[in-house]
Amino acid sequence: MGKGKDLMTQLNDVLQDYSKEVMDTYNTCGKEIADDTVSKLKRVAFGKYDRGKYSKSWAVKQEQGKLGSYTYTIYNKKHYRLTHLLEFGHVVKNGTKRVVGKADAIPHIKPMEEWVQNQLPKLLVQKLGGR
């Protein structure tokens, strides 16, 4: 009976160590992917109207999650109102509120979201030694 308890304690210790390693790797990979995403968003060109202000204000916010994990939110600090307009396009009006056209959409957030959803699992498997 003593050996069984020792074995269970050892197994529990190993599983706790591995759990911590997985969580640390998850947090590291999440931060790495979030930083890469912000870097990619900053390189997106929006033509003569941007002058770099929109692109430069992308940032990452880290928040404590459950069980020691972190969540990373990618957002535009100063020009958050433009994100939807640029992503999906919008109506253009002149000074008299008359519609004069439509600005084309410049999808830049959705492709990054898809890239993150594709890259994060691959990076986790790579860092944890899987195939």
**How far apart (Å, rounded) are the C-alpha atoms in residues 131 and 122?**
9
SS3 call for 54: helix
DSSP string, 82-124: HHHHHHH-EEEE-TTS-EEEEEPP---HHHHHHHHHHHHHHHH
The answer to whether the beta carbons of residues 127 and 29 sit under 8 Å apart is yes
In what helix (H) or strand (E) does residue 14 lie, and over which residues does it extend? Answer: helix 2-43
Torsion on CA atoms 53, 120, 105, 90, rounded to nearest 10: -70
The answer to whether the beta carbons of residues 106 and 7 sit under 8 Å apart is no
Instruction: Tell me the pLDDT of the chain averaged across its residues.
Output: 87
Average pLDDT per 10 consecutive residues for the chain, totaling 131 residues? 73 88 92 95 73 87 88 92 89 80 88 94 88 52
* Span 60-83, pLDDT tens digits: 999 998 888 899 999 999 988 888
SS3 call for 74: strand
